[in-house]
Amino acid sequence: MNRRQTYYFIGNLLSFSVSDEQKKMFIKAFKSPAFNWPVFVALGSNHLVLQTIYCKLFDYKLTDYLPSEIKSHLKRIYDLNFERNTEIISQVDSVNLLLNKHGIAPLYMKGAGNIIDGLYTDIGERIMHDIDILIQEEQWNPVISALLQDGYCAFSESIPGKTTKHYPPLYKSGNKITLEIHRAPVDNEHTRLISTKEIWDNRKQINGHGDCYVMSNHHKIILNFIHSQLTHHGYSYARAYLRDLYDLQLLSSRENIEENFKRLKRYRSRAISYVGLMNKVFQGRSTEKLKLNILNHIHLFRCELNLKLRIAGMITFLLSVMFRSYILIPFRSLKNQESRNSLPKKLFDKNWYMKHYRSLTRIYRINTS
C-alpha cells in the first residue's frame, strides 16, 4: 500500500460510519504481510490523527487485528493525549474561574472550544498545541493583566500593537499547554471573512465549565477553512491535514457546509475545493452536488498528484513559498505601510530565513513519509 492509498485508507477509518464490508476490508488489510505499517504510522503522526485512529479502531473492535507493537504504540499515544487533554480541560476551568472573578467570560476557539462543546465522542481524539481564547477589545488589557498577575508569563517581551492578532503565548509553571489570547480570530487580511464582533454576536454558551463561550458552528466551519487552507496555505500547497478534514466532517453533521461557504465570495471556489477533498477522503462521497468548476477539478487533481508523487509536493511547496515570500510580500509593501516597515527587518533578519528553512524541512518530512 503506497502513500496515496494509505492516506485514503486512513480517511475511510475516520469516516462517520463504517459498514460490515468495510470492517472486513480493514481486517484483510491488517492481516496482509504487504501492509505498509511504517507509512500508516508516519502519515497518521504527520497529520495529527494517530490518537483518533486508535479511538476508531477501538470503537470498531479492530485493535486485536493490529500487530502487537503497533497496537501498543497507538494505545500509548491515545493514553498520553487523553491524560493531557484531561489536564487541559482542568486548565480551561481554572482560567474560567480566574477571569469570571474579574467579570469576564472568555470565548474558546479551535481544539479547546471543540472539546468543551462536545464535538468529539472521546476527549482523547483531538491533539492540541495551545488554548486559543478570543477576547473583545475592551477586555484585552484586563484579561492580560489578570493572567500575568496569576503567574502566567509571556514567551516574548514585545508588546503587540493594535493590529496584532494575538498576545505572545502565555505559559505557567505546572500547566501542559500555553494560552493564546486573541483580539482577532484570523490574520488581518481575512478579518473581512470572519470578525471578532460577529463571532461574539453569535457565540454559544457552554455549561459545566464556568461562565464561558465557544464559537457558533457556522463560524467554526469558516475558521476551519481559513486556518487550514488560507493561513497555513493548504490551498496553495494542494493538501490538507487529516485532522482539519476530520473536524470539518464532524462539523458537517451540525451545519450545512456548502451553505456556510456561500458568503466567502472570492474564496468560495477554494472552500468548495476543500469540501470536495473532504468528501473524497471520507469514503469517496459524491461531489456532484457541489457543482465543481474547472478550478476545483484542477485543485483536486493537484492534491492527488502530491499524494502520488513526493517530488510534486516539494515543487508545489517551493513555488508557493517563493511566490509569497519573494514576490508577493515586496509587491504588498508598495501599497501597505505596515508591510513597507516590516520588509527591511525581514530581509536582514536571519530568523526569517530560518523560519523558511524549518518550514521547508517540515514539509519535506511530511511529503517523504
**With the CA atoms of 358, 362, 368 and 369 taken in that order, what torsion angle do they form, in degrees rounded to the nearest 10?**
140
**Which residue range is the domain that position 260 belongs to?**
233-308
The answer to whether residues 265 and 303 belong to one domain is: yes
- 344 within some domain: yes
- Structural domain ending residue among the three candidates 261, 285, 308: 308
Q: Is residue 267, in this structure, part of any structural domain at all?
A: yes
Same domain, residue pair 259 and 298: yes
The number of domains in the chain is 2
Beta-sheet pairing, 107-109 with 212-214: parallel
Q: Which three cell numbers stand for residue 163?
A: 493590529
213: Cα within 13 Å, side-chain hemisphere = 19
Residue 215 to residue 289: CA distance in whole angstroms: 27
- Asked if residue 320 and residue 291 are part of one domain, the reply reads no
Are 285 and 322 found together in one domain? no
Whether 18 is covered by a domain: the verdict is no
pLDDT averaged over every residue in the chain: 86
Report CA-CA distances (Å) from 19 to 27, 155, 283. 13, 48, 11
Output phi, psi for 292, to 5 deg. Answer: -65, 135
pTM of the model: 0.85
Of the CA atoms within 13 Å of residue 284, those in its CB half-sphere come to 4
Q: Is residue 343 in a domain?
A: yes
In a domain, 119, yes or no: no
Residue at which a domain ends, from 293, 308, 323: 308
Q: Is 155 among the domain residues?
A: no
**Dist. CA 97–CA 78, nearest whole Å:** 28
Same domain, 292 and 317: no
129 is a domain residue:
no
| 230 in Cβ contact with 190 (< 8 Å) | yes
HSE value, Cβ hemisphere, 13 Å, CA-based, for 290: 26
Task: Return phi, psi of residue 116, to 5°.
Answer: -75, -15
Same-domain status, 290 and 331: no
324 in the same domain as 291: no
For residue 182, report the phi and psi dihedrals to the nearest 5 degrees: -100, 140
Task: Quickly count: other Cβ atoms within 10 Å of residue 45's Cβ.
Answer: 16
| Domain contains 266 | yes
302 and 318 inside one domain: no
| Whether residue 317 sits in one domain with residue 266 | no
Identify the domain boundary among 260, 285, 308.
308
Residue 368 has a pLDDT of 46
Residues of the chain with confidence (pLDDT) below 50: 367-369
